Chains A and B, each alone.
Chain A
Amino acid sequence: MNEAIFVENLSKRYGDFEAVKNISFNIKKGTIFGLLGPNGAGKSTTIKMLTCQFPPTSGTAHIEGLNTVVDATEIKKKIGVVFEYQNLYEELSVYENLNFFRRLYSSPKEKISEVLKAVGMETYQKNKIKTLSKGMKQKIMIARALINDPDILFLDEPGSGLDPRSAREIRQMIFDLKGLGKTILITTHNMGEADFLCDCLAIIHKGSIIAMDTPGNLKKKYGEDVLRIETITGDIYESPLNTKSSSDIFKKLSENNQVFLVHSKEATIEDVFIKLTGEKLTDES
């Protein structure tokens, strides 16, 4: 079995509101899968169903072949979760926080220093959580998710609200975890993060997956590379690359000696998102 996560027609309904609508996807072992969408798109609800926090209204999900409703206890031993909010015990030290969760999983004591080393926080064992910066707390959240040496990690908006430096460190950390063979499901509304990290990306909008592929293929399929010409007067002309209109514009401007700068611009995930949804996605970082 090459699939770590298998999701089929998963839905979640709260009264009349359908937060997640009939989504299906599967995630290969050792890859990073991204759920990209704005706030309220259904990303966190999907993660909550996959991490057995609540059952789906319909559909099924399997983690390493185990059903999320029937085999919740077994699944919980195999997964690690980083929440979108920082839910650590503020009054306790880093060590005490990790030691508590280590005990919940019956992991060996040595695991604490191992995970702290993995996130570069081994010198902060005695510090109280409330004295740490937001970026440091996020690293401890990742350390906590690793305390049971999980095969699968669920990261809900891991870079959200962090300064650019911390966000970059967290991104690198996630990339390193993939190198260790972990399967990672990440939700984000940060397109740079999604593009950089994910092997496969699902764009989720109003509870439904509207596109799913590698970031490169998504850009190829839905985005357009653009020819960008700046004139000596400062005007900018953009036109789809390798089309008649782009060559016409270039020809006309160069004949009049108006061209100052010419370059091509690659399609971005944001372009893909806008094209598919007609909406802009807020990028916090």
Chain B
Amino acid sequence: MNLNVILAIFRKDLISSVKSKTILIVLLTPVFLSILFNSTVSLTDNIVVPIAVYDGGSSTDFVEYLRSTGSYEIIVTGSAGKSEELLYTEKVAAIMFVPEGFSADLENGFIPSLNITVNPYDAKSVVFLQTYKDVIMDFAGQDYPVHISLNTLPAGLQSRFNIPIWVMFTVIFVGMMILPNTLTTEKEKKTLDAILVSPASVKDVIYGKSFFGLFLTIFISLVIIFINGGFVGNFLMVLFFIVLGSTAFTGIGLLIASYSDNYSSASLLSTICMAPLILPALLADLSNEIRYISYLVPSTYMFNGIKDAMLNNSGISDLYPELGVLFMFNILIYALTSEVLKKKKHI
């Protein structure tokens, strides 16, 4: 192992990645996505939901009350059919049919019916479903049986819950996308031949590229953590999980690179492998089946480790299972990679 050579390869890759717009865009994608996602979440507070209302008669005060809440953009229609047309053409997120005498029935203590249809594929319908019951109860002059004090976290704190997702995304992305691509580009453009007739060995190239991948992962993860105010919990442990995850996915990236002769086949292979590694970890809570599947992918342990260390301040003793699995995975993947490289006798 020649440290000068490894550092030279690292330095060259760093300059190349800054100069190559494609790599720069790919690298900054997780950062932009985290910023975009956070701004989207904070925007939901101010969303005004367009709804169409057909008043069957004599409930103008109810329609006006809905309008006065400021949460809805009310479009009053002349018929139920017209309201449906607006819903089907995605002009509104929900429609409401108010029966004749609705307001009077409420005033007289009856329980009238209200027919509501929502378009679940319209994101704004979520806001409508969260608010409509409260608005109707308020109009009818009814109170909750208990006093609820509902608070939301300050905007800056909310974003911290997404950090493990973006960090996991970054680690997998850099390890499985950037690293194989830089290696296969060297193969494709035959610059690797020029490196290998110098004192640099195949091992030096692999170490240099892996070091570059590790640096990128840590740097971008730190940027994401900084932007989202995530320097909380057991930060050293968070960093440890990022390093362990990065080496593991770099190993997978090296395997991909050794099986790909060019940039496009490496990209294709990386893309195919990425989805099954990211999704189970993210969707584990949706069903028992997905949870069982998620136990089979290393990203779950990295994701859970980062989450627990950051949000629950968990220490090393709390995270033995996650650390153990990641260690084992690292050993396995590097044993496999070195075996494959030995058999192929080149990168």
Asked if B149 is at the interface of the complex by the 8 Å CB criterion, the answer is no
B342 within 8 A of A: no
Are B190 and A87 in contact, CB atoms less than 8 angstroms apart? Answer: yes
A73 to B198, CA, bound (A): 8
Q: Which of B15-23, B112-120, B159-167, B225-233 contacts A (4 or more CB under 8 A)?
A: B15-23
Q: Which residue on chain A has the smallest CB distance to residue B18?
A: A91
Shortest CB–CB separation between residue A134 and chain B, in angstroms?
A: 15
Residues on A with C-beta less than 8 A from B196 are 53
Contact of A105 among B7, B19, B198 (CB under 8 A): B198
Q: Does A196 contact B (CB under 8 A)?
A: no
For B12, what are the chain A residues with a Cβ–Cβ distance below 8 Å?
Answer: 89, 92, 96, 100
From A102, which residue of chain B is reached at the shortest CB distance? B8
Least Cβ–Cβ distance between A93 and chain B, in angstroms: 9
- Name the A residues within 8 Å of B304 (CB-CB): none
| Residues of B with C-beta under 8 A to A52 | 197
Number of interface residues of A (CB under 8 A): 25
A51–B198 alpha-carbon span in the complex (Å): 9
Asked if A275 is at the interface of the complex by the 8 Å CB criterion, the answer is no
In chain B between 1 and 39, which residues have their CB closer than 8 angstroms to a CB of chain A?
Answer: 4-5, 7-8, 11-12, 15-16, 19-20
In the complex, per-residue mask of A49-66: 1 if CB is within 8 Å of any chain B CB, else 0: 001110000000000000
Query: What is the number of contacts between chain A and chain B, taking CB atoms within 8 Å?
Result: 61
Q: Nearest CB to that of B204 among chain A residues?
A: A104
**Cross-chain contact B200 with A104 (CB below 8 angstroms):** yes
Q: Is A73 a contact partner of B201 (Cβ separation < 8 A)?
A: yes
Contact residue among A92, A101, A106, A148 (Cβ-Cβ distance under 8 Å from B15): A92
B195: chain A residues at CB < 8 Å are: 104
Q: Which of B8, B191, B197, B201 makes the CB contact (< 8 A) with A89? A: B191
Contact B199 A88 (CB under 8 A): no
How many Å lie between the Cα of A103 and that of B12 in the bound state? Answer: 10
B199–A87 touching, CB < 8 Å: no
Q: Which residues from chain B sit less than 8 Å from chain A, CB to CB?
A: 4-5, 7-8, 11-12, 15-16, 19-20, 189-191, 193-201
